[in-house]
Structure 1
C-alpha cells in the first residue's frame, strides 16, 4: 500500500511538472505527453525504479486508457464516419492493413509466430486519436479543414485496429469471437437507445439526473462513469480488450447527447486529463526498457519508417486524389498524414496481448512501444512544421535573406508575424462558424427566434477577412508596392505608361527602393489587418460572453 501511494505521488508530481516544462518550449512543439512518457521510462522499474507498476497503479492506468478512448469516441461526429472523407478513411485503412500484412509475410514473421505477425501488422495501421485530441486542441486545429481530415481518417485508424485486435488476436475460434462481438454491440446499442428515448420522452428520472447534475450529487457524471466502467467490464468479461468498451462508451454518450453538454465535458476532461490520463502515459513510459531499445536501434528506426510508409503515404495519396480535399495545400495534406501516423495506445494494448500469450519477447515489445512514444513526439512536431511553418513562407524568407543578409532579423520577424496573423484569421473563422451554427440551432429550436439565425456584421467581417487575406496578403502588398514605384520612382528611360522600365532593374539603388517601398506597404497592410482582426475578435468574444450569460439565465429559468 505504501509503495503504491509513493508511486502515485511521483506520478502526480510528474503530471504537474510536464505542462510547465512543455510551456517553456516555444510554440508547444513538444506535447506534454512526451514528457510523461520520458519521465515514466526514466523513473520506472527498468531505470531508477521509483515508480512501481503494481496492480493498483495498473488499474488506475487502465482507467486512464479507458477515459482517453471515451473522450476520443465522444468527440467523433458520426458524419465523419459516413461522409465522403469517412468512407475514404475506411478504404485507406484497408489499404494500410493490406500493406502491413504484405510486409509481415515478406519479412517471414508469419512463419515464426502468427500471433506476433498479426500484432505487428495491426500496430502499423493505428492512429492514436485519443492522444491527438488534446494536442489538436492545444494547437488550434479543431474546426479547421486539417482538423476535420485528421478526425475523418484518424477515427478509422483508431476503431478498425480495435476490432482487428478482437478478431485476430483472440485465442478463440473466429465464429465464437464474431458472436461475442455481436453480443457486445447489442449491449452497447441497448445502453444507447434506452437513455436516448427516456431523454426524448422527458422521463422524470432523466429530469432528476439533469436537475442534480451539479453540486454534491453530480448525477450525470456518475452515470457516465457507470456507462464507461460498465462497458469496460463487459468487454473484459467477454475477453475483449478494454479499449473496445471505452470506445463504445464514447459513441453511446455522443448518441445520448448529440448536442453536447459543456458542463459535463469540462468535468470529464478535468477528471481524465487532470488525473487518470497522465497516469496512463507515465505508466506506459515505465513499461519501456530503455536498455532494450538502445540495443536495437535499427528496429526502432525501421518501425517508425514503416509507420510512415504504411500509414502516412496512403492517407496523403487519398487526400491528394479525393475531390473534396485535393484543393487543400500540399503541406496541409502532408500535415494530416503525419498527424494520423501518431500511434501509441493501441501499440501498448497489442504488444501486451502478444507478450501475455508468449508470442512476443518483452524486449521487442519495449522497442515497439518506444517507437509509438517517438511517434507521439515526432509526428505532431513534423505536422506542426509543415502546417504552420509553411504558412510563414520559409523558402521566400531564405531568398530574401540571400539577397539582403544584413536584414536577416527583420525578414525572419516579418515572416513569423505573417504566420501568427494567418493563425489568428483561422481562429476568427472558427469562432464565426461556431456562432453561425449556434444561431442556426437556436432558430431551428425556436429558442431565440429567427434573428439569431442571421450572422451579425462581426461574423461576416471575420469570414470576409479570412477569404480575402489568406495567402494573398504578401502578393497584393507587393503588387501595390510595384505600382507605387512605377508612378514615383521610374527610371529616366522608362516606358511612358509605367508598365516597366526599359533598362535593367538590377541596379542596387533601384532594387533597394523597391524593397523599401514593398516593406513599408507590407507592414502597413499587416498592421491594418491585425488591428481589424483584434477588433473583430474582441467583438466576437463579447457576443460569446453575452450568449453564455443568456444561456445561463435560460437554464435557471
Structure 2
C-alpha cells in the first residue's frame, strides 16, 4: 500500500478520532476540534511518522474543504446585522491592522514580502471561529455578533487585497478584473433577491428527503460556478466561495424556517463532516517543519508572528467591542479576533510561489497561524466563560437533548 492509498484510510480515521479526543478532554478543558485535526495531521505527516504524504488527491480535497469553510462563513453572515456602524468600525480596525502588519513586514521582508505579511497578519478566521462560537452558544449574543462582523471583514477584505496586490496581473488590471467580478457578484445577489421564492423553496422542500436533494446539489453548483469564475479571472478562489455563501443565505432568507434548518444541517454535514476536516488535517500534513527546524531565523519568527497577530488584531478588535463590554470580554474578543489560519495558508502559499517570501518565512507564518488556532480560541472562550453562567440555565428540553 503506497502513501496515497494509506492516506485514504488514515484521513477518515483521524477525522473520526478528532471529535472523540475533543470530547474526551472536554470535562477538563474545552479544546476546539480543529486543534486535534491539526496535531493529528502533523503526527502522521512527513514531519513525524511519515505515513501520509501531500499529494494531488489530498491537495484537491483540501482545496474543496477550504472552499467549503469559506462558503459556510459567507452563509453565516447576517448582512443586516453587520451593516452600518458595526461594519464601518470593523473595516477601520482592519485598515489599522493591515497598516501595522505591513510596517512589521517592512522590517522583516522589505519589498513585496511586506504586503504578504501585512495581509496575513490582518486576517481573522471567521470560518474557523463559527463552529466554536456555535458550540459555545455565542452566535446570537452581542459578543458573538461582534466577532462575526470582525471575522467577516477579516476574511473578505484580505481576499480583496490578495486579488489586487498579489495577483499575477499589474495592479490596475487586477483592480479592474476585481471590479468586474464584484459587478457580476452584485448582479447575482440582485437576482437572488428578485427570484420568486415560492417555486425554488417548493422544489427544495419537495426533495429534502429524497434522492434528488436539489438544495445540496444547487449549493455545490453555486460554489463550483463562483469558485470557477474566480479562478478564470485569476482571483483567489476563496473570494468566490465566500460570495457563494452570501448568495445562498439571501436565497434561503425567505424559506420556511424548518426547511432552512434542514438544508443548513445537510450542508454543515458535508462541510464539517467531510471536507473541512480534510483541510485541517492536510494543513498539518503539509506543514514544512524542516524549514523551521533547520532555520533558526525562521523558527524565531513563529512566536514573533504569533504575538504580532494578537497585538495587531487584538488591539484593532477593540474598536468593535460591544457597548459595556467588560475587561474580560474585551480580552476574549482580542484573542478570538487574532485567530487566523485559512487566509494565512493561502497568502503564504502565494508569497512563496511568487518568490515574495522564502519557504522558511512561509512556514513560520503558517506555523503561527496554526498556533493561533491551537491557543487563542481556547483562551478567548475560557476568558468569556461558559454561556450557562451568562444566560442562565438551559430549558429543560434543551438539557435533555444535550444529555442525549
State the structure with more CA Rg: 1
Q: Is the 8 A contact 1:199 1:206 kept in 2?
A: no
Distance 2:195 2:87 in 1: 30
1:229 to 224, 228, 239: 224
Distance 1:149 1:190 in 2: 28
Partner of 1:424: 388
Deviations 1:214-260 (A, max 9, x none): 31000111001000011111111111111111101011111112256
Q: Is the 8 A contact 2:77 2:148 kept in 1?
A: yes
Q: Does 1:338 align with 2:339?
A: no
- Deviation of 1:187 after TM superposition, in Å, equals 2.6
> 3-state DSSP class of the match of 2:196?
helix
Distance 1:24 1:108 in 2: 41
Deviations 1:73-107 (A, max 9, x none): 000111243132221111111111111222223x1
Partner of 1:97: 98
2:156 to 150, 156, 159: 159
Deviations 1:113-168 (A, max 9, x none): x3322111101100000001111112222212211111121211111111111011
Distance 2:91 2:82 in 1: 8
Partner of 2:279: 280
Distance 2:206 2:190 in 1: 21
Distance 2:290 2:399 in 1: 51
Partner of 1:246: 241
Partner of 2:41: 40
Partner of 2:364: 367
- Gap regions ≥5 residues in structure 1: 389-419, 429-532, 545-557
Q: Is the 8 A contact 2:90 2:320 kept in 1?
A: no
Partner of 2:168: 171
1:538 to 396, 400, 404: 396
Q: Does 1:255 align with 2:219?
A: no
Q: Is the 8 A contact 2:14 2:40 kept in 1?
A: yes
- Deviation of 1:63 after TM superposition, in Å, equals 0.5
Distance 1:131 1:539 in 2: 29
Deviations 1:485-540 (A, max 9, x none): xxxxxxxxxxxxxxxxxxxxxxxxxxxxxxxxxxxxxxxxxxxxxxxx46xx1278
- In the superposition, the TM-score normalised over structure 2's length comes to 0.91
Partner of 1:499: none
Q: Does 1:315 align with 2:317?
A: yes
For residues 62-461 of structure 1, what are the structure 2 equivalents within 5 Å? 62-105=63-106, 107=107, 109-110=109-110, 114-200=111-197, 202-203=198-199, 207-259=202-254, 261-294=260-293, 295=296, 296-316=298-318, 318-319=319-320, 325-388=322-385, 423-424=387-388, 426-427=390-391
- Deviation of 1:62 after TM superposition, in Å, equals 0.4
Pair 1:334–1:56, CA change in 2 (3 A): same
Partner of 1:451: none
Output the aligned Cα RMSD.
2.2
Distance 1:125 1:288 in 2: 21
Q: Is the 8 A contact 1:146 1:333 kept in 2?
A: no
Distance 2:267 2:243 in 1: 16
Distance 1:241 1:319 in 2: 27
- Deviation of 1:328 after TM superposition, in Å, equals 1.2
Distance 1:30 1:288 in 2: 21
Distance 1:352 1:127 in 2: 17
Q: Is the 8 A contact 1:116 1:360 kept in 2?
A: yes
- Deviation of 1:281 after TM superposition, in Å, equals 0.3
Q: Is the 8 A contact 2:116 2:356 kept in 1?
A: no
Q: Is the 8 A contact 1:29 1:381 kept in 2?
A: yes
Q: Which moved more, 1:181-190 or 1:363-372?
A: 181-190
Distance 1:226 1:254 in 2: 15
Residues matched between the structures, number: 393
Report which structure shows greater RCO (CA 8 Å, sep ≥6): 2
Q: Which moved more, 1:68-77 or 1:185-194?
A: 185-194
Distance 1:208 1:88 in 2: 40
> 3-state DSSP class of the match of 2:195?
helix
- Deviation of 1:190 after TM superposition, in Å, equals 3.4
- Deviation of 1:38 after TM superposition, in Å, equals 1.2
Partner of 1:497: none
- Gap regions ≥5 residues in structure 2: none
Distance 1:115 1:8 in 2: 38
Q: Does 1:53 align with 2:54?
A: yes
Partner of 2:11: 11
Pair 1:85–1:195, CA change in 2 (3 A): closer
